[in-house]
Amino acid sequence: MRVAIGSDHAGFHYKALIKVILARWGHDVTDFGTDSDSPVDYPLFIRPVALAVARGEFERGIVLGGSGNGEAIVANRVRGIRCTLCWNVESARYARQHNDANVLSIGERLVAEPDLEPILKVWFETAFDGGRHQRRIDEIDAV
């Protein structure tokens, strides 16, 4: 799967870890920055991830910050993006199963490092259940 990833300075460490995990799983990852833990303005790195996913250049996106909240807000301003903030395996499962989330937001300051890989695993492996949710998601994307 082609995955776009971006972070601000507060998510930089987890972004590096995630790139290694995804490469190990065989995913093709493109890093949209930032390239260090020096302070930056997060929308400069998050919006390009969301736009690339929305254009269909990538199947999924991952955005990271301190809490992940601002990153999710910026990504969700892009039409066609369903970015969800996940902090545990259950939130990741429901994000994919019920919301067909195509962008994952994680807060490095709020998610323990040992929980990172299990969250990713569930988010990548859980299929959207479709059904009654699909029609509403399509309607929202069309607005």
For the stretch 99-111, pLDDT in tens is: 999 999 999 999 9
Whether residue 71 lies in the annotated active site: yes
At residue 79, the 3 state secondary structure works out as: coil
Number of domains in the chain: 1
From the CB of residue 46, how many other CB atoms can be counted at a distance below 10 Å?
31
Catalytic residue chosen out of the listed positions 98, 108, 117, 133 = 98
Whether residue 90 lies in the annotated active site: no
Confidence of residue 138 (pLDDT cuts 50, 70, 90): low
- Expressed as residue numbers, the domain containing 58 is 2-142
Catalytic residue chosen out of the listed positions 9, 27, 71, 108 = 71
| End-to-end CA, the chain | 28
CA 89/CA 122 separation, integer angstroms: 6
For the stretch 91-136, pLDDT in tens is: 999 999 999 999 999 999 999 999 999 999 999 999 999 866 555 6
Quick one: pLDDT at residue 130?
84
CATH (domain of 65): 3.40.1400.10
